[in-house]
Chain A
C-alpha cells in the first residue's frame, strides 16, 4: 500500500527542516526556513507609524510583500500575499499597537514544492524574532493526495505536479500549558483542533479532504516541536542551526 517517493521517504516523512533567526542585519526580525530544497527568507520591518489607506487605524496593519525567485510578481504572488496576510493577521494581536504598519517581506530562494507552507513557517519565525505580539504560532504543512487515495506529506515540486490534488494547511502550534491534561478549559482544546488556513488544488472527495486534515494535523505536532526547540535554542544563544 506504500507509494514510492522519488527521494525514498515514507509517506509521512518530512524533508529535513532547517531554520535560522536573525540572519538579516538591518531588519527588525528575520528568518530563513527550509524544507529540503525549498527555502524562503522572511524579513519583518516595524511596527512603523501609520496605517495604509483603506485599513482600520484602530488596529495594527500588516503588509505582506512576496518576492518570487525570478521575474515580476504576478497573480500567483498576489494570491500568496493575500493568503499569507490573512493568515498572519489571525495570529497577531492587532490591538496592541494600533495605527501602525508591520511589513513582512518574503523572498523565495528556491521553490521545490510546499512553497506556501514554507513561507508561512518562515514568516511566523520572523514575527517572533521581531517580537511582534502573537496569540499563538502557526505551523503549516502541505498534504498531497495520490490518485489511489494515499496521502503523502511535504511533497516536492515534482510530486505536487504528479499528484491528483494537494492541500496547504495551517494549524496553530501545540502549546505548553500549566493546565492539567484534559482540563475543563475547552478553549485551548479547541485551539489545537482548529484550522487557520486551507487552500486546495485539484479535486478530491470530501472524505479524502478530512483524511488530509487528520494527517496534516498529526504532522504539525512534529513541526511545532521543531519550531519550539529552535526558538528556545536561539534564545539561549546556542547557535543558529538546529534539526
Chain B
C-alpha cells in the first residue's frame, strides 16, 4: 500500500490509514455537515486521522476509523460491561476499563426512586449504557434504555466474564451475526453479553459449554468468517 502512495486514490475510505493521514478537506465540500467518529479529528480545514485502522464511511456523512485496542475510551450510547467498585450515596462507582471510573447514579434504574435503590455489592458485573462521556468529567452510566425501560440492562448473575480487545467485541456485535456465535447458537443454548469496552460475559447450563464458547470467541479474533465456522464446528464435534 505504501508503494501506491505516489498515485493516491481519490478517497481513503476502506483503506488502512495511520495517524497524520488527511482524509478530507472540509473547505472543498460546500455547505455539508459531516459526522466524525473515533480516530478522526478536525485540524482547521482538514480532517486527519489519529489512530491506525481502517477508514469507514457510512452514508450520508459519517466517517470513522475502525481499530482495535485493549483500553476502552468511553463514548455515548455504547453498551458496556462494568464492574462495581464502590457505592456512594448518589452513585455507584463502576470500572469500565476506561481512563476514569464511571458513575452510575443510584436512580438510573427502571422506576428508580430513593426508596428502591438496588443493592449492588463491589464486584458485581453490570450491563450498562454510557450516557455521558465528556473528557473533563467522569463518564456517566445508566441501567435503562433511552425510554427509561430496563431493557436488557442490569446485573449479570453467574456466568463467566473475560476481557478481550475492543475490536473483537465490535466483531461479536456486528450484523449479520458473527459466524462463531451463529454456529454455536444452532447447537448449544447459552447467553452472551458483549460490552464495547472489551468485556464479554458468557453463561450456560453446563460449565463445559461456557468454556467452549469463551475459548472459541477468544480464538476467533484473527480468523476469517470461514475459518471461524470451521473452528466452531470442530469444537462442537468434540463437545457432543
Q: Which residues of A contact B (CB under 8 A)?
A: 27-29, 46-49, 91, 93, 95-100, 128, 130-131, 133-137, 172-179, 185, 187-188, 191, 224-229, 231-232, 235-237
Contact = CB atoms under 8 A, between A and B. Distances in A.
Nearest to B23: A178
A88 to B, nearest CB: 12
B150 interface: no
B53 A229 contact: no
Given A46-B71, A91-B19, 18 more contacts: A46-B99, A49-B100, A95-B135, A128-B18, A128-B52, A130-B71, A131-B73, A133-B50, A134-B51, A135-B50, A175-B21, A178-B10, A187-B43, A191-B20, A228-B1, A229-B2, A232-B2, A232-B16
A140 B224 CA distance: 35
B120 interface: no
A136 B16 contact: no
B136 A134 contact: no
Contacts, number: 129
B69 A131 contact: yes
Contacts of A176: 5, 8, 12, 15, 17-18, 21-22
A95 B43 CA distance: 13
A46 B12 CA distance: 29
B53 A235 contact: yes
A55 to B, nearest CB: 15
A231 B12 CA distance: 16
Contacts of B25: 178-179, 185
B170 to A, nearest CB: 13
B89 interface: no
B70 A136 contact: no
Interface residues of B, number: 44
Q: Interface SS of chain B: helix, strand, loop or mixed? A: loop
A236 B16 contact: yes
Contacts of A133: 19, 39, 41, 50-51
B233 interface: no
B99 A188 contact: no
Contact of B24 (A131, A175, A178): A178
A136 B99 CA distance: 22
Which of B8, B11, B71, B222 has the most chain A CB within a 10 Å cutoff? B71
Residue of B16, B43, B101 with most chain A CB atoms under a 10 A cut-off: B16
Interface string B64-101: 00011111010000000000000000000000000111
Contacts of B5: 174, 176, 225, 228
12 contacts: A49-B99, A49-B100, A100-B100, A128-B51, A135-B48, A136-B20, A137-B18, A175-B20, A175-B22, A176-B15, A178-B8, A185-B46
A232 B73 contact: no
Interface string B37-48: 001010111101
A96 B11 contact: no
Given A100-B99, A178-B24, A131 B71 contact: yes
B20 A173 contact: yes
Contacts of B46: 179, 185, 187-188
Contacts of B20: 134-137, 172-173, 175, 191
A235 B16 CA distance: 8
B78 to A, nearest CB: 15
B222 A237 contact: yes
Contacts of B19: 91, 128, 133-137
B10 to A, nearest CB: 7
A178 B67 contact: no
A114 to B, nearest CB: 22
Contacts of A136: 19-20, 48
Contacts of B135: 95-98
